[in-house]
Amino acid sequence: MWEGIYRVLKRTEVRKEDVPLIKEGRVLGMDESAELLTRTFYPDDDEGEDKQVHKEIRAKAQLVNEGPDDDSPEPLVHKYKSWERS
């Protein structure tokens, strides 16, 4: 078994050092890189740019948020206790 593991490990590449991001010809630091990645992959949520389907989803989500907080189902304590006994 260990021979197979060592054979696979030999073929794997050594982890390369992280390459800094470059924006407009300038090398970014760690914080700036994190900021750029965040803005690129998680842009600001602008409701003005929503398509119709997104507007409908927001409206449905708002209905859920406005509902009463006591809609939670009762905990299944009696079932948990019966499972403990079995």
The CA distance from 19 to 66, in Å, is 46
Instruction: List pLDDT tens digits, range 36-84.
Output: 999 999 988 889 999 999 999 999 988 887 867 666 666 677 677 777 7
Give the residue, 27 or 44, on which the prediction is more confident: 27
pLDDT grade, residue 1 (50/70/90)?
A: confident
pLDDT over threshold 80, residue 30 = yes
What's the pTM value of the predicted model, to 2 decimals? 0.42
The CA distance from 82 to 86, in Å, is 6
The CA distance from 27 to 64, in Å, is 45
Which residues neighbour 23 within 8 Å (Cβ) at sequence distance 6 or greater?
32, 36
The CA distance from 39 to 46, in Å, is 13
Q: Are the beta carbons of 28 and 22 closer than 8 angstroms?
A: yes
Q: Are the beta carbons of 57 and 64 closer than 8 angstroms?
A: no
Per-residue pLDDT at 34: 93
